Amino acid sequence: MKYPNGQRKTHAPIQRSRQKKADFSNRGMTLEEDINQTNQAYLREGKAVIHKKPTPVQIVDVDFPKRSAAVIREAYFKQASTTDYNGIYKGSYIDFEAKETKNKTSFPLSNIHDHQVQHMKQIVEHGGICFILIRFSLLEETFFFAAEKLFPYWERQTKGGRKSIPYKDIQQEGHFIPFKFHIRVDYLSVIDEMYL
Protein backbone atom coordinates (compact mmCIF):
# COMPACT_ATOMS: atom_id res chain seq x y z
CA MET A 1 0.00 0.00 0.00
CA LYS A 2 1.29 3.47 -0.84
CA TYR A 3 0.66 6.51 1.35
CA PRO A 4 0.29 10.16 0.24
CA ASN A 5 4.00 10.83 0.73
CA GLY A 6 4.76 8.14 -1.83
CA GLN A 7 6.41 5.82 0.62
CA ARG A 8 5.45 2.26 0.94
CA LYS A 9 4.33 1.06 4.38
CA THR A 10 6.12 -2.08 5.48
CA HIS A 11 4.90 -4.13 8.35
CA ALA A 12 7.21 -5.67 10.85
CA PRO A 13 6.82 -9.42 11.10
CA ILE A 14 4.37 -10.42 13.77
CA GLN A 15 6.19 -11.86 16.70
CA ARG A 16 4.34 -14.21 18.95
CA SER A 17 5.50 -13.93 22.53
CA ARG A 18 4.35 -15.92 25.47
CA GLN A 19 2.04 -13.92 27.66
CA LYS A 20 3.87 -13.18 30.90
CA LYS A 21 1.96 -13.62 34.07
CA ALA A 22 1.56 -10.33 35.95
CA ASP A 23 4.16 -10.07 38.68
CA PHE A 24 3.31 -7.69 41.49
CA SER A 25 6.09 -8.87 43.76
CA ASN A 26 8.63 -6.36 42.46
CA ARG A 27 6.73 -3.15 42.74
CA GLY A 28 9.67 -1.08 41.51
CA MET A 29 9.66 1.05 44.62
CA THR A 30 12.56 1.71 46.87
CA LEU A 31 12.12 1.73 50.62
CA GLU A 32 12.55 5.50 50.63
CA GLU A 33 9.78 5.98 48.04
CA ASP A 34 7.50 3.68 50.04
CA ILE A 35 8.20 5.60 53.26
CA ASN A 36 7.62 8.96 51.57
CA GLN A 37 4.25 7.71 50.28
CA THR A 38 3.42 6.37 53.74
CA ASN A 39 4.32 9.68 55.40
CA GLN A 40 2.13 11.57 52.91
CA ALA A 41 -0.77 9.25 53.74
CA TYR A 42 -0.20 9.78 57.49
CA LEU A 43 -0.18 13.56 56.95
CA ARG A 44 -3.33 13.51 54.79
CA GLU A 45 -5.16 11.47 57.43
CA GLY A 46 -3.92 13.69 60.28
CA LYS A 47 -2.16 10.77 61.99
CA ALA A 48 1.41 12.12 62.15
CA VAL A 49 3.77 14.77 60.82
CA ILE A 50 6.95 13.00 59.71
CA HIS A 51 9.29 14.23 56.96
CA LYS A 52 12.56 13.29 55.31
CA LYS A 53 15.35 15.48 56.63
CA PRO A 54 17.11 17.60 54.02
CA THR A 55 20.82 17.00 53.66
CA PRO A 56 22.76 20.22 54.37
CA VAL A 57 24.93 21.10 51.38
CA GLN A 58 27.44 23.93 50.92
CA ILE A 59 27.41 25.16 47.31
CA VAL A 60 30.87 26.25 46.17
CA ASP A 61 30.63 26.83 42.41
CA VAL A 62 27.58 27.68 40.29
CA ASP A 63 27.54 28.27 36.53
CA PHE A 64 24.91 30.78 35.35
CA PRO A 65 24.66 30.38 31.55
CA LYS A 66 21.29 32.10 31.92
CA ARG A 67 19.14 32.92 34.90
CA SER A 68 16.72 30.05 34.43
CA ALA A 69 19.43 27.44 33.91
CA ALA A 70 21.84 27.68 36.86
CA VAL A 71 24.03 24.58 37.19
CA ILE A 72 25.77 23.63 40.43
CA ARG A 73 29.32 22.62 39.49
CA GLU A 74 30.74 21.93 42.96
CA ALA A 75 29.14 21.32 46.36
CA TYR A 76 30.05 19.62 49.63
CA PHE A 77 28.11 18.19 52.52
CA LYS A 78 28.25 20.75 55.36
CA GLN A 79 28.15 18.08 58.03
CA ALA A 80 27.54 14.37 58.38
CA SER A 81 23.84 13.63 58.22
CA THR A 82 22.11 12.07 61.19
CA THR A 83 19.07 9.93 60.36
CA ASP A 84 16.71 10.05 57.38
CA TYR A 85 13.35 10.96 58.95
CA ASN A 86 11.90 12.73 61.97
CA GLY A 87 8.63 14.13 63.19
CA ILE A 88 5.90 13.80 65.78
CA TYR A 89 3.22 11.21 66.47
CA LYS A 90 0.73 11.32 69.37
CA GLY A 91 2.98 13.79 71.20
CA SER A 92 6.10 11.61 70.83
CA TYR A 93 9.20 12.54 68.88
CA ILE A 94 9.96 10.02 66.12
CA ASP A 95 13.41 9.68 64.51
CA PHE A 96 14.51 6.89 62.20
CA GLU A 97 16.83 5.66 59.50
CA ALA A 98 15.81 3.65 56.43
CA LYS A 99 18.16 1.04 54.98
CA GLU A 100 17.91 -1.53 52.19
CA THR A 101 20.13 -4.53 51.64
CA LYS A 102 20.34 -7.17 48.93
CA ASN A 103 21.84 -9.56 51.45
CA LYS A 104 19.45 -12.42 52.30
CA THR A 105 21.09 -13.72 55.47
CA SER A 106 22.11 -10.61 57.42
CA PHE A 107 22.06 -6.83 57.62
CA PRO A 108 25.59 -5.39 57.25
CA LEU A 109 26.38 -2.84 59.96
CA SER A 110 28.57 -1.03 57.42
CA ASN A 111 25.26 0.43 56.15
CA ILE A 112 25.18 2.57 59.31
CA HIS A 113 27.73 5.13 60.45
CA ASP A 114 29.03 5.81 63.94
CA HIS A 115 27.68 9.39 64.01
CA GLN A 116 24.21 8.03 63.18
CA VAL A 117 24.36 5.55 66.06
CA GLN A 118 25.50 8.32 68.43
CA HIS A 119 22.57 10.45 67.27
CA MET A 120 20.16 7.54 67.86
CA LYS A 121 21.54 7.08 71.37
CA GLN A 122 20.89 10.77 72.12
CA ILE A 123 17.31 10.47 70.86
CA VAL A 124 16.67 7.42 73.06
CA GLU A 125 18.30 9.09 76.10
CA HIS A 126 15.92 12.04 75.72
CA GLY A 127 12.82 9.85 75.50
CA GLY A 128 12.32 9.87 71.72
CA ILE A 129 11.27 6.87 69.70
CA CYS A 130 14.16 5.83 67.45
CA PHE A 131 14.48 2.89 65.08
CA ILE A 132 15.67 1.60 61.73
CA LEU A 133 13.42 0.36 58.96
CA ILE A 134 15.35 -2.43 57.25
CA ARG A 135 14.29 -3.82 53.90
CA PHE A 136 15.68 -7.08 52.61
CA SER A 137 15.01 -6.20 48.97
CA LEU A 138 15.54 -9.67 47.47
CA LEU A 139 13.24 -11.20 50.09
CA GLU A 140 10.80 -8.28 49.76
CA GLU A 141 10.52 -7.99 53.55
CA THR A 142 10.63 -4.86 55.68
CA PHE A 143 11.31 -4.84 59.42
CA PHE A 144 11.02 -2.28 62.20
CA PHE A 145 14.16 -2.62 64.34
CA ALA A 146 14.27 -0.52 67.52
CA ALA A 147 17.45 1.49 68.12
CA GLU A 148 17.75 -0.09 71.57
CA LYS A 149 18.05 -3.49 69.84
CA LEU A 150 20.67 -2.15 67.43
CA PHE A 151 23.06 -0.79 70.09
CA PRO A 152 24.35 -4.17 71.42
CA TYR A 153 25.13 -5.34 67.87
CA TRP A 154 26.92 -2.05 67.19
CA GLU A 155 29.00 -2.28 70.39
CA ARG A 156 29.87 -5.91 69.69
CA GLN A 157 31.20 -5.14 66.21
CA THR A 158 33.28 -2.19 67.48
CA LYS A 159 35.00 -4.68 69.81
CA GLY A 160 35.91 -7.04 66.98
CA GLY A 161 32.68 -9.05 66.87
CA ARG A 162 30.39 -9.85 63.98
CA LYS A 163 29.89 -6.94 61.58
CA SER A 164 26.29 -7.73 60.70
CA ILE A 165 22.96 -8.59 62.30
CA PRO A 166 21.76 -12.07 61.32
CA TYR A 167 18.45 -12.13 59.46
CA LYS A 168 17.02 -14.56 62.02
CA ASP A 169 17.82 -12.07 64.82
CA ILE A 170 16.02 -9.30 62.94
CA GLN A 171 13.04 -11.64 62.49
CA GLN A 172 13.00 -12.41 66.24
CA GLU A 173 13.86 -9.00 67.71
CA GLY A 174 12.32 -6.79 65.04
CA HIS A 175 8.77 -6.44 63.79
CA PHE A 176 7.80 -7.51 60.28
CA ILE A 177 5.83 -4.79 58.44
CA PRO A 178 3.59 -6.27 55.74
CA PHE A 179 3.28 -4.28 52.50
CA LYS A 180 -0.08 -2.55 52.18
CA PHE A 181 -1.47 -0.71 49.19
CA HIS A 182 -2.68 2.48 50.86
CA ILE A 183 -0.05 2.82 53.58
CA ARG A 184 2.89 0.86 52.19
CA VAL A 185 5.14 0.72 55.27
CA ASP A 186 2.80 1.16 58.25
CA TYR A 187 5.44 1.64 60.94
CA LEU A 188 3.07 3.62 63.19
CA SER A 189 1.13 0.42 63.90
CA VAL A 190 4.36 -1.05 65.33
CA ILE A 191 4.97 2.11 67.40
CA ASP A 192 1.42 1.82 68.79
CA GLU A 193 2.11 -1.79 69.78
CA MET A 194 5.58 -1.23 71.24
CA TYR A 195 5.56 2.23 72.78
CA LEU A 196 2.12 3.84 73.06
Question: Binding-site residues for Mg(2+), please?
Answer: 82, 84, 97, 116
- What SS3 class is residue 109? helix
**Any bridge partners for residue 59, and if so which?**
75
Cβ neighbours of residue 150 closer than 8 Å, sequence gap 6 or more: 112, 117, 120, 132, 165
CB atoms within 10 A of CB 146: 21
- Measured CA to CA, the distance from residue 163 to residue 58 in angstroms comes to 33
- Measured CA to CA, the distance from residue 153 to residue 21 in angstroms comes to 42
- For residue 50, the one-letter residue type is I
